[in-house]
Structure 1
């Protein structure tokens, strides 16, 4: 099958740039881009898109919805999913929706070439045609680059949690912002919604980067989470132990994913209970001297089939931004 036009559909400029650079240089194909699933589906409907490299976690319309629409409308295109969501269930679902293959982010050029060859999509090499790949690389700023790093790490953490709890984790689009304390308060306040909260905090430092991870639970959902984790907390101390265990899984996996991509190493402190049965106002008031201005990454997880939500925040110190910018620049170069 000869492909003349390829669609790269991903909301991250960084991810699209990485993917375009991973394409075989001797592949005579024109590349078009879409920043969300709705834009991507519109491009497919216009025709002449022989192959889509599709992300899953996107605004407007996610990758699952795009795959479902392609099948429902019998659109003439092939799809390879390229995603940071590496849960076994995610891989299974995209296959059932008709995707040819699943590749994890960031994709290895050799594996991408092998996958294209395996499905007969690579076409005639440029040595015979004289043509080369046609693609404009998107401009990437620090926030977008770091958001993509977090996106991949978040997917790895979710896959670990999904295996341990036998659930499907709905992944958010990470929010990455540099915030003052007042702005951080506003960013967290929506998570409370009148409920009381329990929070676990864990510090980390390494390679000129430091910060704190904050995992926030709604008290109304702690009991349901305990059931999933097969804990039977008899008292408050038992609840705390369960929350510390969950925090260790999620925070450790997420930080490990970031460290691996940026080629850094983090030392993690012991997780501690920051507050239990407290309001956001109390949590911020107690810690505002430490947090001040921060690079804040917000991830709001939910578990499919369960009324369970929790927020993971990575709060990097202001001094860490320069080091993180330097590290992500290597990924962009």
Structure 2
């Protein structure tokens, strides 16, 4: 019996390794890789994609665009979506385009085996834990570490997006997280999505566990508040209380879901400070002064959420001092070993 060509399409090398580790023992496969949809389509046309595990949020060509081409050209490939974006609309859209199923990141090995057996793709008795694993500790370069951080945040971002979509009844557009390590006086440069000419409002919340500490900020362009208030049906309140209520509610959902997902991946339990209003109707740089003074070097992770058809945008900014970075990476790879 010939081997099954398995194609793993994800822009994250760390995620590709995680997926390869989850392939069950005893499944006779040749594994191929693609970093985005265009590469995946080339592999499928070359016969290297009997089964593809497909991410959604990727540069060049994302999962939706890739699935659309597979459907239009009737390419011979069984597609299972593996994504941090687990909004119901994301799932529905991909299934409607012909994907077999939709798996949440990070991969649950036993659930994967059950799914593969359900569709008759894998019929063995293998256990994913028995397979010779890819050693994630071999990822020692700065680029590889950044890739691991980005994938960690990608999963957390998707969890927060799912919660927000459920609250608002809207599809949340999710970006590829922007990860930078910067000096404290460069913090404003790490926030690409915020229009510097606008006044903004922001909420801040600190967190700490197992030698890992950080700060989460949610930043709103004030020009978007009317649309947010209308979407939340808070327009029965007067303007200032409605804006404050919207600011706190969305911030609590985004930060809470994101930190819970980070806790799960790092196997820690974060203690949270109470959320505080960092500023209202001010320029962003003035709000970041206290954060800039606290830490010398910072890993800054920016996630630009959007509800595009409502013209609503807000940013979640995760800040970690450089002293936390190695602890985060060590916990990520230790859990995978």
* TM over 0.5, shorter chain: yes
Give the CA deviation at 1:238.
3.4
> Once superposed, what is the RMSD of the aligned Cα atoms?
2.3
Alignment of 1:146-165 (within 5 A): 146-165=149-168
Q: 1:209 aligns with which of 209, 212, 216?
A: 212
SS in 1 for 2:256: helix
Deviations 1:50-107 (A, max 9, x none): 1111011111111111100101111111101111111111111110010011111111
Kindly state the Cα deviation for residue 276 of structure 1 after the two structures are TM-superposed. Answer: 1.3
Residue 183 of structure 1 deviates from its aligned partner by: 2.8
Partner Cα separation in structure 1 for residue 123 and residue 179 of structure 2: 39
Distance 1:148 1:250 in 2: 17
Gaps of 5+ in 1: 127-131
CA contact (8 A) 2:206 2:272 kept: yes
Residue matched to 2:53: 53
1:248 and 1:152 mapped to 2: Cα distance?
Answer: 18
Correspondence 1:123-162 to 2 at 5 A: 140=139, 141-162=144-165
* SS of corresponding position for 1:171: coil
| TM-score normalised per structure 1 | 0.92
Q: Quick check: 2:196–2:283 contact (8 Å CA) kept in 1? A: no
Residue of structure 2 equivalent to 1:222 = 225
Distance 1:135 1:332, change over 3 A: closer
- Indicate conservation of the 8 Å contact 2:180/2:190, yes or no: no
Contact conserved, 1:3 with 1:121, CA < 8 A, in 2? no
**Is 1:258 aligned with 2:257?**
no
Q: Aligned partners of 2:135 and 2:308: how far apart in 1?
A: 36
Instruction: Provide Cα deviations, 1:262-318, integer angstroms capped at 9, x if missing partner.
Output: 110111111111111111222233542124311111111111421011110011122
Deviates more, 1:186-195 or 1:25-34: 186-195
The 5-angstrom pairing of residues 21-60 of structure 1 reads 21-60=21-60
1:195 is aligned to: 198
2:190/2:300 contact within 8 Å kept: no
Residue 302 (structure 2) aligns with: 298
1:289 maps to which of 287, 293, 301: 293
Q: Distance in 1 between matches of 2:2 and 2:98?
A: 19
Match of 1:328 among 321, 332, 337: 332
CA–CA distance in 2 between the matches of 1:318 and 1:28?
A: 43
Unaligned runs of 5+ in 2: none
- In structure 1, the partner of 2:66 is 66
Runs of 4 or more, structure 1, over 6 Å off, are 132-138
Displacement of 1:222? 1.0
